Amino acid sequence: MTRPDSTLPMPTSTARDERLAQLRAAMRRAQVHACIIPSSDPHLSEYLPGRWQGREWLTGFTGSVGTFIATGDFAGCWTDARYWTQAETELAGSSVQLMKIPSGASLLHIDWLAANLGPGQTVAVDARVLGLSTARLLADALSARGINLRTDIDLLDSVWSERPTLPPPPVFEHAAPFASTSRADKLAATRAAMARLGAERHFISTLDDIAWLFNLRGADVSYNPVFLAHALIAPDGATLFVAEAKIPAELRARLLLDGVTLAPYADAAGALAALPPGAGLLVDPRRITAGMRDAIAPGVKVIEAVNPTTFAKSKKSAADAAHVRTTMEHDGAALCEFFAWLEAELANPARAPLTEVAIDRHITAARARRPGFVSPSFGTIAGFNANGAVIHYRASEAAHAVIEGDGLLLIDSGGQYLGGTTDITRVVPVGATSEAQRSDFTLVLKGVIALSSARFPRGTRSPMLDALARAPIWAAGIDYGHGTGHGVGFFLNVHEGPQSISASAMPEPHTAMEEGMITSVEPGIYRPGRWGIRIENLVLNVALDATEFGDWLRFETLTLCPIDTRCLHLPLLRADEIAWINDYHATVRARLAPHVSGAAAAWLEQRTQEL
């Protein structure tokens, strides 16, 4: 469970009021009655470069999901249950209303616009950051009510005088041995998939697809090693639309050897406009903006399907999986060092006050000492007691808790390594814990065990697995307001599709579970104002066997870090669940022991004792 760090300073209440007033003035000048600012960029990224953090600039709400709408007398921000507590805090003191989205109703703001605007009025949104699928739903809903839709203006640009420019970090190559498949082979496989769909050309905007396909990485987005670019794949070559200064000369030469030429980032739309009539162009309607779709020349035969790279990069090769296993050992060893330090600090009565901010600093430092480490994979979530119940909580120097007294400390963290991406959540006791806390912890762990132990047919729609983790929690009359699992990239985005273990995701064909996919398993229980519990491991889909009913898959747990058994209420566990915990801890101890020494080794031995 992750969230990005903000790259913008938190606006004061006065600043928010002034910015909203400026936006409304721009709306009046353009004769616009409602303005939509989505949490999006030209690549439909989840985590945004500063230039496209407009919703945050206007409202102060830093969650990674949310849609802002302003009219002449209303301002609201729509977000889902993961962010309600956070949004209530960050929007406090402003005139922006929190509009709560129930699970599975992510386009509720469209219904609101259709219901609250009248015939002849105009809604504006920048097509360059509006997903094509969303744009179609928006256009249909508004036109049915006689409401106009303008997508040709960026009102935000007219009022944001200090808007950040495009990020400058250079692009670098993700090379062998970590890149187990060559760029040429990936391009050939992509062209073969295009041919099967009847397309001679393929346009890609999603940054992780581009980074994976070209074996390139960057640092344009916090924590995700991607860079701003578009790509156009042709039968005899490929064009990468990227700022030329970001590509070193030696890398440019190697790209050219593989038939990859460079063009300015801003030229992508023009290239689509120049395509010849009758050309077959593959685009993914969920991964391209309405602005790019509008740029395609008339007469081009547009074929809509999921990007082939989205499927290809989700299925890690045997070599990729081997690198990830090694990375998990290094990550787990770093966590042993960190938790040994943490427990020593908590046991020291003479220590200085320990804060949630210090957790982030020390856990990152432990990872940085490990080979292949590049950066955190997201901003560490360290929430003590009530802060742990804020699903995407982020401590700061200005607002954080001191870790003292009794309770639970939730730590969700991860690392980007050349050999893989990690994401793990653990909860540790501080002082004494209550029976209610231990009961919640045990129910969450039962959910982890239930899903981690699943056997399922190859091709099972990933959302269908969500209930396996929830069942033990539901049995106690409890639920949680987020998905149970997200795909994870290979030194790429910590959130990756197409698989999603979530009750709010549609079980569509493209969500099918296939061998090689890496997914998180992370049920939770959150009691606002008291505590939050989430336990998260990453798992790999591996082949099990074949029966008369088809091919079967199981999960291999990749994450290697003890689960704190001091938080357990043992009477709630069955014998097979205790056996799972003991087997897991035996594996953790055997795999991590060669990588640790001293206090970290002693901590590992103590925390993996058999129940």
| Residue 4: predicted pLDDT | 43
Higher pLDDT, 350 or 175: 175
Distance CA 61, CA 96 (A): 10
Structure tokens belonging to residue 26: 């721009």
| Residue 1: predicted pLDDT | 46
| Residue 393: predicted pLDDT | 86
Instruction: Kindly report, residue by residue over 493-527, the tens digit of the pLDDT.
Output: 999 999 999 998 899 999 999 999 999 999 999 99
- pLDDT at 291 exceeding the cut of 80: yes
Residue 81's pLDDT band (boundaries 50, 70, 90)?
confident
Q: What is the mean pLDDT of residues 223-231?
A: 97
Distance CA 405, CA 441 (A): 19
CA distances from 31 to 26, 49, 121, 431 (A): 9, 29, 9, 60
Q: What count of other Cβ atoms lies within 10 Å of the Cβ of residue 402?
A: 11
- Which of 558, 522, 358 is closest to 444 using CA atoms? 522
Q: State which amino acid sits at residue 529.
A: G
Q: What is the mean pLDDT of residues 13-37?
A: 94
- pLDDT at 577 exceeding the cut of 70: yes
| Residue 105: predicted pLDDT | 59
H/E stretch holding 280: strand 280-283
Residue 513: helix, strand or coil by DSSP? coil
Q: What is the 3-state secondary structure (H, E, C) of 535-583?
A: CEEEEEEEEEEEECCEEEEEEEECCCCCCCHHHCCHHHCCHHHHHHHHH
Residue 8's φ and ψ, nearest 5 degrees, are -115, 145
| Residue 103: predicted pLDDT | 65
Distance CA 378, CA 1 (A): 9
Contact 423, 379 (CB under 8 A): no
Q: What is the mean pLDDT of residues 339-367?
A: 93
Instruction: Kindly report, residue by residue over 424-451, the tens digit of the pLDDT.
Output: 999 999 999 999 999 999 999 999 999 9
DSSP 318-358: HHHHHHHHHHHHHHHHHHHHHHHHHHHHHH-TTSPPPBHHH
Residue 360: helix, strand or coil by DSSP? helix
Q: What is the mean pLDDT of residues 144-161?
A: 95
- Which of 230, 422, 449, 397 is closest to 327 using CA atoms? 422
Q: What is the mean pLDDT of residues 573-587?
A: 98
| Residue 2: predicted pLDDT | 45
> For tokens 């970090």, what's the residue?
169
Write down the number of H helices and E strands in the chain. Answer: 18, 28
| Residue 104: predicted pLDDT | 58
Residue 477: helix, strand or coil by DSSP? coil
Contacts of 38 (CB under 8 A, 6+ apart): 55, 67, 68, 125, 129, 130, 134
Higher pLDDT, 65 or 319: 319
Q: What is the mean pLDDT of residues 521-547?
A: 97
Residue 201's pLDDT band (boundaries 50, 70, 90)?
very high
Q: What is the mean pLDDT of residues 109-132?
A: 96
Choice among 10-24, 294-308, 586-600 with the minimum mean pLDDT: 10-24
Residue 85's pLDDT band (boundaries 50, 70, 90)?
confident
Burial 185-220 (b: 16+ CB within 10 A, else e): ebbeebbebbeeeebbbbbbbbbbbbbbbbbbbbbb
Instruction: Kindly report, residue by residue over 158-170, the tens digit of the pLDDT.
Output: 899 999 999 999 9
| Residue 533: predicted pLDDT | 98
CA distances from 419 to 212, 317, 327, 355, 555 (A): 13, 12, 6, 31, 20
**472-475 own/partner pairs: CB under 8 Å, 24+ apart:** 472/443, 472/446, 472/447, 473/443, 473/444, 473/446, 473/447, 473/523, 473/525
Structure tokens belonging to residue 128: 């360059």
- pLDDT at 5 exceeding the cut of 70: no
Residue 271's pLDDT band (boundaries 50, 70, 90)?
very high
- pLDDT at 607 exceeding the cut of 60: yes
- pLDDT at 611 exceeding the cut of 60: yes
| Residue 392: predicted pLDDT | 81
Sorted by where each starts, the structural domains of the chain and their CATH numbers stand as 13-159 (3.40.350.10), 172-313 (3.40.350.10), 315-607 (3.90.230.10)
Residue 299's φ and ψ, nearest 5 degrees, are 90, -15
Distance CA 133, CA 446 (A): 38
First to last CA, the chain: 28
**Can you give the length of the chain in residues?**
611
| Residue 64: predicted pLDDT | 81
Mean pLDDT of the chain: 94
